[in-house]
Structure 1
Amino acid sequence: MAKVFDKGLVINILSLLAYRGASFIFPLVTLPYLARVLGVEHMGLLALGLACVMYCSTISDWGFNVYTTKDIAHHRDDPARVTQLFWSTFNAKLLMGCSTLSVLLLATWFRPQWHHLFFIVLANSTVLFGGLFSFGWLMQGYEKLGKTAIISTIGQFCSIPLTFLLVKGPDDTWLAALIPGLTMIISALITLVFVVRMRVIGFYRFEPAEIWQRIKDSVHVFLAIFGANMFNNINVLILASVTSTYMVGLYNGADRLKKAANSLPEQIGNAFFPRVSFLFHRDRAAAIASTRKSISFSFLISLFIVLFTFCFADLIVRILLGPEFHESANVLRIAVCGFIFGNVSYPAGLQILIPHGLARQRMYVMLAAGLINLPVCGLLAWQFGAIGAASSLVLAEFLVFAGVVWLMAKHGILKEYLARDPAAVLETSQGENA
């Protein structure tokens, strides 16, 4: 059986944690300052603007960060195919990102009640372009994230002094939205140099048919991610529509702490994904062993975070957000409970359902959970404010978890991943099929 856990995978986990986790961990350093300088109301306004741009980013990504990563990991010994995958993905992300951002900017400018969001959205749109040129999906497909992790970490670190220097009061909320995007763009441009030096990408090509094929291939992953956003980012918008920006500010404070806490368990699954994709058609037993380790690590770390948060949420909120956000402590306690379900169902979806050809079924599960969340969040947020929105989020995470387990059981996959000796189960299944 192929080696599952090695030095390269450990480096990849740590690199991916720095590459993706820095976007949550470093802002956590400035969070106490922003919470006190902007106040609950303007923290809520900032959260609304960031949530709007997040939907543009979701459409721009279109599942490419998952589907193209898998394809590049599978074809990384074929430079011609990698070149085709790279340029078709880049062009598709560029076209969809610019289109959706244009619509959002026009909507916030011409609709009077949204006009106050225009400058926040415009400033934070730099995140969209920074993500476009980061090429994390390419580096992840090659399991080479060390240099880009360092670059990203340095870029995120630069946001700390910029925040203290530029953001002085509520009128600087747009600057708080601009800084993350500027650091992402700088990091992305440096990353581009390393991509060129890898010499795995050929000259620029624009192939409409291939771009359309990329979009069609990734649509199931996109709809699954969009479904997840219907119980992640959209809860902020629902909360704003039925309560106030003050309540959104409380929710946003807890949500930022939650995302920072989830950096490590979430990135473990992402780091294992290219390894599992590479092994799946070469050594199925090794792929299963890799997935089991990934999910076990994620679950145990998530459980520790939940227990720690229940004990120390009040202290964490008082130190990082300030006394004004004291009501965010209970919101945080509830929100982190979703880790127990989400950090099992998310890696299971990537590493089990998608390789087994169940991307469409995974999409249905995510969409169903997202659609159920909409009325539930509306009702709970109306009745209980930020705590209600967080409770709805946890319910949606549980529904996704239950759906993923049901799919695995229905298609006879679950027994392979729960067996003590997956190789023996695979041999039995292959003998029955023969």
Structure 2
Amino acid sequence: MTDKKRLFENFSALAIMQMLNYILPFVTLPYLVRVLGMEGYGTFIFSQAFILYFIIIVDFGFELSATREVSLNRDNPNKLSEIVSAVLGVKIILAVGSLIVLLLLLATVPQLREYWAFHLLSFGMVIGNMLFSLFFYQGIEKMKFITIFSASAKIFFTVSIFIFVKDTSQLLLVPIFNSLGYLVVGVVSLFVMITKFKVRIRFPKKDTLVLQAKNSAQFFWSRIAVSMYTTSNTVIIGLVLGPVAAGIFGSADKLFRGVVSLYQPLNNILYPYIAYSKNIKLYKKVFKFATIINIFIVVVAFVVSDIVVQVIFGSGFEESALLLRIFLITTVFLMPSILLGYPLLGAMGYTGEVNKSVIIASVFHIVILLISIPFLSVIHVTLYVLITELIVFLYRLYYVKKFKLLSE
């Protein structure tokens, strides 16, 4: 199979997944807003953002470090088994630690204690993600399996919500179905990896566990840094301003992240491919095409933002339309920033520069966010996101030019 054909197949598979990831939430979200009310919906949005912290901790950056290792050792079955076993071992340790931390937070933080059962039931998403070895399927460039597994979880959640959730008294069914979808998919993906791809899961040696954790540490801190100016926004708004404000901000953020997620397939397929092939000429063609498409999507979305918010979320979310327009301006340079990151700088060996870009930006974001807490508003936070993402983009662009990575 030629490189272009393999890339196209992988891109098509991930594009389908991202379409489902984009479409299905906007089938369920309008329903949840109307069934659960603004407070119940805000609780759902807040809890998802809160639990995402634990997902990031358990992933520990392996979707980047282990993806590259799997890609480089895809023809060595023994090495693959060693990598997968060690990564799963570290993830299990981190998952147990995360559960203990969650229980302590639920017992001591009043804002979390009110909906403790909702947050605890949502932890099933963390376990499901732990079992779903995304890094393995990305590394061997079998993206169709990622699509099948991810789509199955989303479809299960969507169908279950419409069948069983009818009013606020059934609020806890939302995290139950969400977690069940992730858990089943995690188990099935692990089964396929073992039976179809002959990966042998064995008890890893201590030094192998330490090595994998050490190799992935820089990627983990990078992911944590990114979460500081993405996930943290909804969490801080929820803690400071309440679930209704979290719902208003989270609604615009969901739409914004939905637009950005359209480019995630490119990120996922280019990173292992460029790391393996160093084909800069093809990268440049993809980058230029994606940039043009991005500008077109942003312009169209900007024009129809009011209508989209009204149709999806209904009355009470008018402020979300304004936030969405600010987010769309951010998207103009966020998409190129994503492709300049791991798919280019990271794949060419400059992971330190990629990680530093988000760490520096996150420090700025958290500092300005904390300073403004006494007079915090959802508009302030949205503007902070714009400035933060611009810092990341300019930092990465500087090093791409410095190292002359696009000069071929």
Task: State the TM-score bracket (shorter-chain normalisation).
Answer: over 0.9
User: What displacement does 1:24 show?
Assistant: 4.2
- What is the rounded CA distance, in whole Å, between the counterparts of 1:141 and 1:299 in structure 2? 26
1:432 is aligned to: none
1:337 is aligned to: 329
1:368 matched to 2:366: no
1:305 is aligned to: 297
- 2:24 counterpart letter in structure 1: F
- What is the rounded CA distance, in whole Å, between the counterparts of 1:371 and 1:264 in structure 2? 27
Contact map agreement 1:251 1:386 (CA 8 A) in 2: yes
Instruction: Between 183-192 and 294-303, report the one with greater CA deviation.
Output: 294-303
2:99 is aligned to: 101
Task: Please give the per-residue CA displacement for 1:47-105, whole angstroms capped at 9, x wherever unaligned.
Answer: 22212210111111111001111111111111111111111111111111221232012
84 and 339 in structure 1: CA distance in 2 versus 1, 3 angstrom threshold: same
Task: Please give the per-residue CA displacement for 1:212-262, whole angstroms capped at 9, x wherever unaligned.
Answer: 111111111111111111100001122234423221110111112222222
Task: Please give the per-residue CA displacement for 1:12-47, whole angstroms capped at 9, x wherever unaligned.
Answer: 112223445534432221111011112222222222
2:79 to 78, 81, 103: 81
80 and 356 in structure 1: CA distance in 2 versus 1, 3 angstrom threshold: same
Task: Please give the per-residue CA displacement for 1:125-177, whole angstroms capped at 9, x wherever unaligned.
Answer: 11111111222211111111224422432332122221112222234333222
Contact map agreement 1:24 1:256 (CA 8 A) in 2: no
2:31 to 33, 39, 61: 33
1:136 to 120, 134, 137: 134
Mapping of residues 417-428 of structure 1, within 5 Å: 417=406, 419=407, 422=408
In structure 2, the residue corresponding to 1:199 is in which secondary structure? coil
In structure 2, the residue corresponding to 1:365 is in which secondary structure? helix
2:221 is aligned to: 223
- What is the rounded CA distance, in whole Å, between the counterparts of 1:45 and 1:219 in structure 2? 32
1:314 matched to 2:303: no
In structure 1, the residue corresponding to 2:263 is in which secondary structure? helix
290 and 207 in structure 1: CA distance in 2 versus 1, 3 angstrom threshold: farther
335 and 105 in structure 1: CA distance in 2 versus 1, 3 angstrom threshold: farther
1:165 is aligned to: 163
1:234 matched to 2:253: no
1:276 is aligned to: 274
2:148 is aligned to: 150
- What is the rounded CA distance, in whole Å, between the counterparts of 1:241 and 1:52 in structure 2? 11
- What is the rounded CA distance, in whole Å, between the counterparts of 2:225 and 2:19 in structure 1? 22
Contact map agreement 2:84 2:201 (CA 8 A) in 1: no
- What is the rounded CA distance, in whole Å, between the counterparts of 1:294 and 1:125 in structure 2? 37
Contact map agreement 2:137 2:145 (CA 8 A) in 1: no
Gaps of 5+ in 1: 281-285, 423-434
- 1:342 counterpart letter in structure 2: L
User: What displacement does 1:200 show?
Assistant: 3.8
Mapping of residues 408-423 of structure 1, within 5 Å: 408-410=400-402, 412-413=403-404, 416-417=405-406, 419=407, 422=408
- 1:308 counterpart letter in structure 2: V
Task: Please give the per-residue CA displacement for 1:297-355, whole angstroms capped at 9, x wherever unaligned.
Answer: 43233222221221001110111111221221111111232222222222222122223
- What is the rounded CA distance, in whole Å, between the counterparts of 1:200 and 1:277 in structure 2? 24
Contact map agreement 1:69 1:138 (CA 8 A) in 2: yes
Contact map agreement 1:231 1:374 (CA 8 A) in 2: yes
Q: CA RMSD in A?
A: 2.1
378 and 41 in structure 1: CA distance in 2 versus 1, 3 angstrom threshold: farther
| TM-score normalised by structure 1 residue count | 0.88
1:283 is aligned to: none
295 and 94 in structure 1: CA distance in 2 versus 1, 3 angstrom threshold: farther
User: What displacement does 1:382 show?
Assistant: 5.6
Report percent identity of matched pairs: 23
Mapping of residues 345-364 of structure 1, within 5 Å: 345-364=337-356
Contact map agreement 2:46 2:235 (CA 8 A) in 1: yes
Instruction: Between 109-118 and 398-407, report the one with greater CA deviation.
Output: 109-118
Gaps of 5+ in 2: none
1:390 matched to 2:382: yes
In structure 1, the residue corresponding to 2:392 is in which secondary structure? helix
